[in-house]
Structure 1
Amino acid sequence: MRPKQRIFASLVAGSALLASTMPAWVHPHVFAEARLDVVIDSNSKVTALRHLWRFDDLFSSTVLVEFDANKDLKLDEAELEEVGAVVHQSLAEFNYFQVVTQDGRDLTMIPPDKLIATLEDNQLIILFESRLAEPTDLKGKLDFGVYDPTFYTAIDFVEDTNMAAEGLPAECSRAVIRPDADEALAANQSTLTDAFFNDPAGTDLSKIFATKLELNCTAAG
């Protein structure tokens, strides 16, 4: 693995750092403030998710050092394109930290064509859009979660308004769900096997800890 890939591989290899109990391993090493926009078309169908992640100063500085090939203390267009390409490759295995369900059923997302990387005020910003494989009716309960299944990266929506769904019909309600880790553990104790504690990314159960935008449209359609 090339050195520049190694730094982003750490984003998705955090399970190697996890211990066997919850208090020991829920300690993110990378932090990002995020915004999520659920795209709704004129037919009241969900078509895509738009993501913006602003990474913490320490991680951004590390990226600058690793990708600044000409050592001019900034990232030019070509260097930023390489950052975006490496992040794109590194996160593919984890569905780009996103999960979308309708009435508990996983919906298929098309991988983004590319990720756009910028550096603003010395902070790395990643932007991308993922489309649903099929536009989905606003019907029943839809959940949109963004999380790192290895718990290595904390994706933080500081304000509830940072999870948005513009054009939501009046018959639909929205809520931002922020699970309490202890309550989530207690409520799912019977399904959290040793396999989860050894590799949460491998069991897909770590999504119970994800901050989610929940849309309820039981009266729609």
Structure 2
Amino acid sequence: MHLKRRAIVLASALAATFAAVEPAEVHPHVFAEARLEVILTPDHQSVKSLRHVWRFDELFSSTVLMEFDKNSDLKLDANELKDVADTVHASLADYNYFQLVTVDGKDVPMTPPPHLMANFENDQLIILFESEPKKPIKLAGKIDIGVYDPTFYTAIDFTEDANMHVDGLPANCTSKVIRPDADEAIAENQKTLTDAFFNDPTGTDMSKIFATKLELNCQPEG
């Protein structure tokens, strides 16, 4: 497989590629630091959109630079960055762009972002995009928002709680960052985890139980 596809697909094709040539390894190969901003509707009663920023590790970034630097000037110009962004956009479409969004434990349908932006700063690839739920998410009950890779190939980490935030929550809502303990997450979900998960977690969608999440809890006003 061409190195460009191996470098940029992040999880979907990469997992399939390596599974075909070597035993499955359940640990990340690509690392990124993330920021997530939750944008509310003007009336502050619903979640309107999610703004994501991912900053990738230098090793992965250098591979991307090597493959997309078509004029070999050791930098990525506007057209080359657009090529990166378009490739990532297409590659992550089948994985909901690594987004986890639930209301009271039920998945929320998200509209695919129309495009992604790519930048290259301090030898690191940066991906930015904004996505919206198909319908604004009313601030009621428990809302969990996070990022995870269902194939375990990419580790996207929020290094500080402040990197997940929402401004303007109404008084009846609270927010906190949840960082699950892996052993506790497995124990709490033992009944729903199948043998398939333990034999090959990359073939399931259960990696979401390990994801760092911003949890919003909203009580009825009264």
TM-score by length of 1: 0.91
Q: Which amino acid aligns with 2:49?
A: A
Where do 5+ consecutive residues of structure 2 fail to align?
Answer: none
Q: 1:198 to 1:82 in 2, by over 3 A?
A: farther
How far apart, CA to CA, are the structure 2 residues paired with 1:10 and 1:159?
23
**Corresponding residue number in structure 1 for 2:133:** 132
Which structure 1 residue ranges, 4+ long, deviate > 6 Å from structure 2?
Answer: none
Mapped partners of 2:105, 2:91: distance in 1:
27
- Equivalent pairs: percent with the same residue? 63
**Is 2:18 aligned against 1:11?**
no
Gaps in structure 1 of 5+ consecutive residues: none
Work out whether 1:76 is the aligned partner of 2:102: no
**What is the distance in 2 between the residues matched to 1:38 and 1:177?**
15
Q: Separation in 2 of the partners of 1:10 and 1:128?
A: 16
Contact residue 54 and residue 123 of structure 1 kept, 8 A: yes
Q: Does 1:38 align with 2:20?
A: no
Q: Deviations over 1:167-216 (max 9, x none)?
A: 11121111101011111112222221122234435432221111100000
Structure-2 separation of matches of 1:203 and 1:188: 14
Distance of 1:179 and 1:210 partners within structure 2: 7
TM-score (norm 2): 0.91
**Aligned residue in 1 for 2:194:** 193
Deviation, structure 1 residue 118: 0.3
Alignment match, 2:124: 123
Distance 1:208 1:33 in 2: 19
Is the contact between residue 34 and residue 52 of structure 1 (CA under 8 Å) also seen in structure 2?
yes
Structure 1 CA distance, aligned partners of 2:215 and 2:110?
A: 17
1:68-217 alignment runs, 5 A limit: 68-217=69-218
SS at match of 1:124: strand
SS at match of 1:197: helix
| In structure 2, C-alpha distance between the alignment counterparts of 1:10 and 1:119, rounded to whole Å | 17
Letter in 2 for 1:188: N
**Is the CA contact 1:139–1:220 (under 8 Å) kept in the aligned structure 2?**
no
CA distance in 1, matches of 2:10, 2:175: 34
SS in 2 for 1:114: coil
For these two proteins, the number of residue pairs brought into alignment is 216
**C-alpha contact 1:35 1:53 (8 A) present in aligned 2:** yes
Alignment RMSD, CA only?
1.8
